[in-house]
Amino acid sequence: MRNIVQKLFVIWSFLGLFLCVGGCKQDSLPTDEKPVENIPDGQVMDESEIEDFDKYYKPAEFEGIDMLRSDAKWSWFRSKQSEHFFVFWEAGFGDDPNAETVPANLRVDIDDLLEKAELFYRTNVEKLKFTETGQGKSFLDRYKMEIYLLYQEEWLATGSGYDNTIGALWVNPSTCQPVGSTIAHEIGHSFQYQVYCDKLCQGGNDDLKSGFRYGYEGSNGGNAFWEQCAQWQSFQDYPEEMFTSYNFDVWLNNNHRHFENEWMRYASYWLQSYWTMKHGIETIGNIWRESVYPEDAISAYTRLYCNGDWSKTKKELYDYASRMATFDIDGVREYSEGYLGRYHTTFYTSGEYYQVAYANCPEATGFNVIPLNVPDAGNMVVAADFVGLEPGATLASGDPGEYMESETVKGTTTKYNTAGSAGNMGWMYGFVALKQDGSREYGEAHSDKSGRVSFTVPAGTQSLYFIVQATPQNYVVHPWDEKELTDEQFPYKVKFENTDLLGNITIDPDAEPQDLTLMYNVTFAASDADYNGASVSISENGDLTKIAQALAMQPSQLTSNMLSAKTEPQEGKIAFAAVKPDGSLDYNTTANGYGFWFDSLGNPIGWGSDNDSKVYVEYDAKNFSFSVGQYPGKLVSGDNYMVKEALVYTKGGQQYVITLVFNIDIK
């Protein structure tokens, strides 16, 4: 619940207008204003008293509002302006939304809002070139953009515009406390909306077939590029949030999907930086301005920057995927410290090969970053034998084959998706080495359906990766339909020589599983505001090897054999549990994913301000780490807690338990 609440806020903060005509609509917030003659008497302002009154575009839906009156829903009496923005606020705020008479949770510093809005304006106009001002080509030469502040606690952050004329946004106070990337994101939407407005300003046809004002064939009308780009636009001013926001984890869990997959629309903001590294910072703005129905972003890029040659785009996309293994892209690399080495791809054994899991099978333009063991000897030659599979191929034994609709598990399958055709299958693959001095070495890219690729691992290599990207023979846009089964997948299997999946070790094939207990001493400070505490990496401290030996399975199998949270033990699988003080096991997780909240005595408990939930422990099965944290305001220095969790493996009807004991000291 701790992170769920935070994640929902992050998600809703970026809800724009992408579901209607590619992310925008003309009528954005309905008003229940009565006709002017029915409004009670109030103060009335004269137009001559209002600076830049002629630079305000009054939306058509405001026809019944006399904004010169003090008692109107949107009134000039409750407004402020800067060089490029008007801000209006609802009557509940009074004359000053930042006054002490306004409740603290509804208070907004309008001067700060306008100052930051001007910063974001400069970013989108002067830097990114989403519009051309000063040449009579934009409505921004006539009008200022508009911000409407609603007096409500419910989260609202929506950017779009009015009447295909001017960009606007609608927000509630919590999005402005403080003003940051959320407002930058929504103003980004306003500039996306402005692109089409300015086409009309220049005499273009009002047909909703440019400026990404359209959905794609087979979709529900949605256009994920709106959100992807608004994120990227906001990160021009808040670049560290590429990694620090919740969406970084979303990226790591979904980077195998199509670039414009709807389920990572807030997290797929990296390719834009690759494109601007190659062609200049104005590239994304140009793609927006020049897009033509039915193109998606990659189609438009291919036409504009690759002379319509998809084969050239494919090579660039593989270069992008290879660089993304270590975030080796200008404007990204500088903020990646501490975030490398977090990719994971799940495989299941298939004879001598590893076969990619259904849940990680790459879609067109998506890719897998596969961490590998670094050979002990320098300049060792490693190799990979790659085999591309057909659409609808049978999944490897043990693959649960869970597929989703609307980001929720809908059912299971025993085969990869049948969308697409065998003739359209294509892959590119190769090695990447990250050296201890921070430099990278990229191996040759291969594209044979079945082939062997070799790579000499340079001396001083710190990390080694194998990259597989889905590169169809003919590009097809990705429809937004919330259904995984309709996504074109590019399955494969691979085996390695002189290296192996990261963490894989030599295990006696005749060994029998056994129980194991591991203990960890964890210390962190009490906090009144922060849920975080400390982390324990079993891959870094060597315990991953101990667990793998105890259960007689490779670390990669530890991940692939994990059951879903809240699932009871099953033959051949690993269940996750809390160990109660009396030694009994509880599988009903109460924290995020594989995680539990615990009370003062070490009993599992639900999250809540009105109970004894004190600390939590959550397991990341892909990265082999535990996050240990607290309920803000409930701990004090000197507190001590002992909590236990367990991995429960069932083989031959017998359970083998890996018990993990966390001794938590609060300083």
Contact partners, residue 376, CB within 8 Å, separation at least 6: none
CA angle 441, 446, 448 (to 5 degrees): 165
As a whole number of angstroms, the distance between CA 443 and CA 381 comes to 12
Count other Cβ atoms within 10 Å, centred on residue 529. 6
Place of tokens 């910072």: 281
**Quick one: pLDDT at residue 41?**
55
268: burial class by Cβ within 10 Å (0-12, 13-18, 19+)? buried
Q: At what angle do helices 297-305 and 310-324 cross, to 10 degrees?
A: 110
Contact partners, residue 476, CB within 8 Å, separation at least 6: 364, 420, 424, 488
Residue 507 · residue 553 · CB < 8 Å: yes
Using the 8-state DSSP alphabet, how is residue 446 labeled?
Answer: B
Q: How many residues does the chain have?
A: 667
DSSP for 90-103, written as a single string: -GGGTT-TTSTTS-
As a whole number of angstroms, the distance between CA 624 and CA 640 comes to 25
441: burial class by Cβ within 10 Å (0-12, 13-18, 19+)? middle
Nearest to 354 by CA among 489, 453, 496: 496
**Quick one: pLDDT at residue 376?**
86
Contact partners, residue 571, CB within 8 Å, separation at least 6: 650, 651, 652, 653
Domain ranges of the chain: 2-201, 246-502, 516-666
Q: What is the torsion angle, in degrees rounded to the nearest 10, for the CA atoms of residue 486, residue 12, residue 21 and residue 407?
A: 10
As a whole number of angstroms, the distance between CA 493 and CA 348 comes to 9
Contact partners, residue 538, CB within 8 Å, separation at least 6: 518, 544, 547, 624, 625, 626
Nearest to 227 by CA among 24, 369, 382: 24
Nearest to 595 by CA among 610, 583, 607: 607
Token code pair at residue 385: 């034998």
Question: What would you report as the CA-atom Rg of the chain, rounded to the nearest whole angstrom?
Answer: 27
Contact partners, residue 348, CB within 8 Å, separation at least 6: 354, 355, 357, 395, 396, 397, 398, 399, 560
CA angle 200, 236, 209 (to 5 degrees): 25
- Average pLDDT along the chain, 667 residues, taken 10 residues at a time: 34 35 34 39 90 98 97 98 99 98 98 99 99 98 99 98 99 97 99 99 97 92 96 99 95 98 98 99 98 98 99 99 99 96 94 97 98 87 98 96 96 97 97 98 98 96 98 96 97 97 88 97 94 92 94 93 96 98 98 98 97 98 94 97 99 98 98
Residue 67 · residue 86 · CB < 8 Å: no
Compute CA 255 distance to the chain's CA centroid, rounded to the nearest angstrom.
9
As a whole number of angstroms, the distance between CA 566 and CA 592 comes to 11
Place of tokens 């390695």: 496
**Quick one: pLDDT at residue 221?**
85
Nearest to 377 by CA among 495, 500, 461, 463: 461
Beta bridge partners of residue 579, listed in sequence order = 585, 644
**Quick one: pLDDT at residue 509?**
83
As a whole number of angstroms, the distance between CA 416 and CA 359 comes to 10
DSSP for 73-138, written as a single string: SS-GGGEEE-SSEEEEE-GGGTT-TTSTTS-GGG---HHHHHHHHHHHHHIIIIIS-SS--SSS-S
